[in-house]
Amino acid sequence: MPDIKPVRKAVFPVAGLGTRFLPATKVMPKEMLPIGDRPLIQHVYEEARDAGIEEFIFVTGRYKNMLQEHFDYQPELMKTLESRGKDEMLEKVRDSQMPEGKLFTTRQAKPLGLGHAIWCARKLIGNDPFAILLPDDLVLNGKGCLAQMMDTYNENGGNVIAVKDVPREETNKYGIVDIGKENGNVVEVKGVIEKPAPDKAPSTLSVVGRYILQPEVLDYLAAFETGAGNEIQLTDSMAKLIGDQAFHGLKFKGNHYDCGSRLGFIEANIAYGLADEEIGNDVKQIIENYGSNDSKAA
């Protein structure tokens, strides 16, 4: 087994337009929408931090400065909370701060696709393996999805992507993997196809927005080839690595929520609300009320 270089960098593509949430996202970035008590971007930041990531690379665009500011030190707010004895809240605010010198940003002038967004971060990625986390995708589990993937990576090296089973009639919504050997919850990835029709899909395992990739993928992205939806797709360049490098899919533990869709966003808020120690029981009660009698809940 060759030396496995540790993964210390993560890219967060946040330059998209978030059209599915308009008009909420006219000025406010989609990645600032809250699930529970924190915005999407903080959920994925914490997941990456807990998985051992040390450099956080945001690919931003117009109207996205708020995403960086969210992780700033806020002395006035801290002082006020301190003087009011709001220790718990103070701790929460502290947790949302990024240590100095850890946040790096680059711009994507036009949202030409996820693959293009990653290419925009090429100088910051350099020649190192790196993770990608899409803030749209949240996984609710004790051990974070990326931390689980790090275990798979540290054992096998190469590239690791998170995968989950979807109904066959929905394969045309996702990147779908062609799989080889299976070893427990780790599958060999033989190919990836973006949004295949159900009868053309090689499996029903879809790619979820978590990746650990080798830097060679950037050479393929540099070709700027467009794919599904006329966008520069990450999937297409990733597929070209297969065969040259080890490529695994991890059937991760935990529930996945697609917070980039309105329905997924609502479901995630319910799930995170139920899992919240402070309000979980009340959320359950509200749901029960809606289930039994609409007027009671209203």
Task: Tell me which of 114, 161, 163, 238 binds ligand UTP, using CB under 6 A.
Answer: 114
Q: Which is nearer to ligand UTP, 47 or 136 (CB)?
A: 136
Name residues whose C-beta falls within 8 Å of residue 269's C-beta, 6 or more positions apart in sequence.
35, 36
The candidate with the shortest Cα–Cα distance to 148, out of 247, 51, 272, is 51
Q: Which stretch binds ligand UTP (CB under 6 A): 14-22, 168-176, 237-245, 277-285?
A: 14-22
User: Would you give the binding string for ligand UTP spanning residues 121-160, x where CB under 6 A is met?
Assistant: -------------xxx------------------------
Q: CB of 219: closest distance to ligand UTP in angstroms? A: 19
CB of 36 to ligand UTP, least distance (A): 18
To ligand UTP, the closest distance from the beta carbon of 225 in angstroms equals 15
Nearer to ligand UTP, 176 or 283 (CB): 176
As measured in angstroms, the least distance from the Cβ of 19 to ligand UTP is 3
Least distance in angstroms from the C-beta of 268 to ligand UTP: 14
Residue 28 binds to ligand UTP (criterion: CB under 6 A): no
Query: Closest approach of Cβ 63 to ligand UTP, in Å?
Result: 11
Q: 45: buried, middle or exposed (CB in 10 Å: 19+, 13-18, 0-12)? A: buried
The yes or no reply on residue 271 touching ligand UTP (CB under 6 A) is no
Q: Which is nearer to ligand UTP, 114 or 268 (CB)?
A: 114
Task: Please give the Cα distance from 134 to 210 (Å, whole number).
Answer: 7
Are 58 and 68 in contact by the 8 Å Cβ rule? The answer is yes
User: Which residue of 15, 57, 163, 201 would you call a contact of ligand UTP, by CB under 6 A?
Assistant: 15
Give the residue from 180, 170, 245, 236 showing the smallest Cα distance to 204.
170
How many Cβ atoms sit within 10 Å of the Cβ of residue 125?
Answer: 23
Pairing of strands 186-194, 159-165: unpaired
Q: Does 186 bind ligand UTP (CB under 6 A)?
A: no
Give the footprint of ligand UTP on residues 43-62 (CB under 6 A).
Answer: 59
| Spatial distance between the Cα atoms of 22 and 9, rounded to a whole number of angstroms | 31
Q: Which two tokens stand for residue 185?
A: 């919850």
> Which residues between 73 and 92 bind ligand UTP (CB under 6 A)?
none
Which single residue is written with the structure tokens 């009340």?
A: 282
- Nearer to ligand UTP among residue 133 and residue 283 (C-beta): 133
Q: Is 116 in the site for ligand UTP (CB under 6 A)?
A: yes
Which C-beta is closer to ligand UTP: that of 135 or that of 249?
Answer: 135
Tell me which residue has its CB nearest to ligand UTP. 16
**Which region, judged by CB under 6 A, interacts with ligand UTP, from 18-26, 185-193, 245-253, 275-283?**
18-26
Catalog residues that contact ligand UTP under the rule CB under 6 A. Answer: 13-20, 30-31, 59, 108, 111-114, 116-117, 134-136, 260
